[in-house]
Amino acid sequence: MIFLKENSNDSPLSKASRAKRYFSLSVILFIVLIALLLKIAYIQFFQGPSLKEAATKQQTTSRIISAKRGTIYDSTGTALAISADVDTITINPDKFKKDTADETKLYQEKVARGLSTIFELDYDETLKKVTSTNSVETIVQKVEKDKVTELNKWMTENNVTAGINIDEDTKRYYPYYNLASNLIGFCGSDNQGLTGLEYYWDQVLAGTSGKITTTQDSRQDLMPNQDAQYFAAENGSNLTLTIDINIQSIAEKYLEQACITNKCGNGGNVIIMDPKTGDILAMATYPDYDLNTPFQPNENMQEGWDDLSSKAQSEALQTMWRNTAISNTYEPGSVFKVVVASAALEENIVDPDKPGLFYCSGSQVVADRTISCANTGGHGYQSLREALQNSCNPAFIQLGQKIGVTTLYKYFEAYGLFTKTGIQTSGEAYGIFHNIDNVGPVELATISFGQRFTITPLQMATAVSAIANDGVLMQPRIVKEISNVNTGAITTVEPKQVRQVISPETAKTMMDMMESVVTDGGGKYGQVTGYSVAGKTGTSEATEGSTAGYVSSFVGVAPADDPQVVVLLTLYNPQGKDHFGGHIAAPVVSQILSEVLPYLDVPSTASTNSSGTSKASQTMDIKKSTLHTVTGKTAADAKKYLEEQGFKCSYDCESTSIITEQIPKAGTQLPEGSIVQLYSDDTKNSKKRTEVPDLKGMSYSSAKNLLSSKKLNINVVGSGQVISQDPIAGTEVNEGTVVTVTLQKDVGSSSH
Query: For 693-730, how does the pLDDT look when each residue is reduced to its tens digit (9 = 90+)?
Result: 999 889 999 999 999 999 999 998 888 888 888 898 88
pTM of the predicted model, to two decimals?
A: 0.79
3-class secondary structure per residue, 282-317? EEEEECCCCCCCCCCCCHHHCCCHHHCCHHHHHHHH
Q: In sequence order, which residues have a C-beta less than 8 Å from that of residue 497 and are 6 or more positions away?
A: 472, 473, 474, 475
In this predicted structure, the answer to whether residue 278 has a pLDDT above a threshold of 50 is yes
Tell me the average pLDDT across 431-445. 96
Distance in angstroms (rounded) separating the CA atoms of residues 105 and 87: 28
Task: Return the beta strands (E) in 460-520 as ranges.
Answer: 472-474, 479-483, 490-492, 497-500
Judged against a pLDDT cut of 70, whether residue 556 lies above it is answered with yes
Strand partners, 505: none
Query: Which pLDDT tens digit goes with each residue over 45-77?
Result: 776 676 566 555 555 555 666 788 999 999 999
* pLDDT > 70 fraction of the chain, expressed in percent and rounded: 89
Mean model confidence pLDDT for the chain: 89
pLDDT surpasses 70 at 220? no
What is the model's pLDDT at position 609? 42
pLDDT tens by residue, 378-404: 999 999 999 999 999 999 999 999 999
Report the alpha-carbon distance of residue 31 to residue 291 in Å, rounded.
77
Tell me how far apart the alpha carbons of residues 446 and 429 are, in angstroms, rounded to a whole number. 22
Identical fold, 61-171+204-241 and 624-744: no
Q: What one-letter code names the amino acid at 726?
A: D
Residue 114 has pLDDT above 50, yes or no: yes
- How many other β-carbons are positioned within 10 Å of the β-carbon of residue 104? 14
Contacts of 547 (CB under 8 A, 6+ apart): none
Domain edges within the chain = 61-171+204-241, 327-334+401-599, 624-744
pLDDT beyond 80 at 451 = yes
pLDDT digits (tens, 9 = 90+) for 73-100: 999 999 999 998 778 888 898 888 888 9
Q: Rounded to an integer, what distance in angstroms lies between the CA atom of residue 138 and that of residue 129?
A: 8
The model's pLDDT over 314-352, given as tens digits with 9 standing for 90+, comes to: 999 999 999 999 999 999 999 999 999 999 999 999 999
Nearest residue to 325 via CA among 448, 452, 421, 453: 421
Task: Select from 3.40.30.10, 2.30.40.10, 3.30.10.20, 3.10.20.310 the CATH code of 624-744.
Answer: 3.30.10.20
For domain 61-171+204-241, the question of CATH label 1.10.3470.10 is answered with: no
**Residue 335 CA from chain centroid, whole number:** 26
Element (H, E) at 430: none
- What pLDDT, in 10s, does the model give residues 512-550? 999 999 999 999 999 998 899 999 999 998 766 567 899
Hey, what CATH class is 327-334+401-599 in? alpha beta
DSSP 699: B
